[in-house]
Amino acid sequence: MNVLEQFDQERVFYFFEEITKIPHGSGNEKALSDYLVAFAKERNLYYIQDEAYNVCIKKNGALGCENGKTVILQGHIDMVCEKNSDVIHDFIKEPLDIYVENGFIHARGTTLGADNGIAVAYMLALLDSNTIPHPPLEGVFTVDEEVGMKGAFQLDTSILEGKWFLNMDTEEEGVLLSGCAGVEEHVWICLWFVCQMRGRVTKFLFVA
Ligand SMILES: [Zn+2]
């Protein structure tokens, strides 16, 4: 039985646990990149893996959303590798040793890689699902974000068709930041609102 089976919603934590089994520190992402390629092949999804080991996986819209606008989802596949001084762990070869305590997921003596593994897990769950309605998706998995966003800089964006882009790497739980750094004139409008998601109140901050 997987450690995180108790949490599973739409296989998000199944994929998160899979990711923890594959070492993926910055500069060591080939194995996880290859896992993504195998994932796409198994599901007959269109994919591109570039020389930097960035991966893009495309999936048609489903369940009534076939004609929706394409949405790009993006997260990075590298993690920060830190450990306690009394722990022996080889981040190049060894899987993380995860466990659950008081409803929180931990890794014994090391970083967990939730940044940005949880984004990768959400993207895989969406790309895997046959039951979640969604528009056409382009999942973009980049490498080496933690060491200067090298993967994102090497990504050939001409492979992307979508105009809507959701980066899934943020700091605060429950906060959604909307913005764009690529415009000369910028009007800032901040709006807080509260909504229900899966029975739980979530607070969003929109900045546009
Ligand atoms: Zn991150």
Would the pLDDT of 205 be above 90?
no
Q: Is the pLDDT of residue 96 over 50?
A: yes
Residues 148 and 187 in one domain: no
Q: Work out the pLDDT band at 142, boundaries 50, 70, 90.
A: very high
Q: What are phi and psi of 183, to 5 degrees?
A: -115, 150
Residue 185 shares a structural domain with residue 88: no
Residues 121 and 163 both lie in one domain: yes
- What is the C-alpha radius of gyration for the chain, rounded to an integer number of angstroms? 18
pLDDT-derived band at 1, boundaries 50, 70, 90: low
Q: What integer is the mean pLDDT of 58-64?
A: 95
**Quick one: 16 and 57 in the same domain?**
yes
Please check whether residues 150 and 177 belong to one and the same domain.
no
CA of residue 176 to ligand 1 center, whole Å: 15
Block residue for tokens 């609102």 = 193
Q: What pTM, to 2 d.p., does this model score?
A: 0.85
Active-site annotation holds for 145 = yes
Contact 105, 112 (CB under 8 A): yes
Q: Are residues 24 and 126 both part of a single domain?
A: yes
**Domain shared by 77 and 29, yes or no:** yes
Residue whose token pair is 């040793």? 97
- Give the helix, strand, coil percentages of the chain, each rounded to 5: 25, 25, 50
66 CA to centre of ligand 1 in angstroms? 30
| CATH code of 100's domain | 3.40.630.10
Q: For residue 179, name the pLDDT band (cuts at 50, 70, 90).
A: low
Q: How far is the CA of 178 from the centre of ligand 1 (A)?
A: 17
Same domain (yes/no): 124, 188: no
- The DSSP 8-state label assigned to residue 22 in this structure reads S
Total domains, the chain:
2
Q: Are 36 and 121 within one domain?
A: yes
Q: What is the pLDDT of residues 108-140, one digit of tens each?
A: 999 999 999 999 999 999 999 999 999 999 999
19 shares its domain with 38: yes
Whether residue 34 is found in the same domain as residue 104: yes
Query: What type of residue is 198?
Result: R
Among the options 78, 128, 138, 144, which is catalytic? 78
pLDDT above 90 (res 170)? no
Q: The domain containing residue 150 runs over which residues?
A: 5-169
106 within 8 A of 56, measured Cβ to Cβ: no
Q: Is 78 a catalytic residue?
A: yes
The predicted pLDDT at position 182 comes to 55
Please write the tens of the pLDDT for every residue from 23-35.
Answer: 999 999 999 999 9
List the shell of residues around ion ligand 1, using CB closer than 5 Å.
Answer: 115-116, 169
Nearest in space to 119 (alpha carbons), one of 94, 101, 145: 145
**Alpha carbons 19 and 13: distance in angstroms, whole number:** 10
Residues 17 and 104 grouped into a single domain: yes
Judge whether residue 164 has pLDDT over 60: yes
Query: Which pLDDT band, with edges at 50, 70 and 90, does 172 fall under?
Result: confident
pLDDT of residue 185: 43
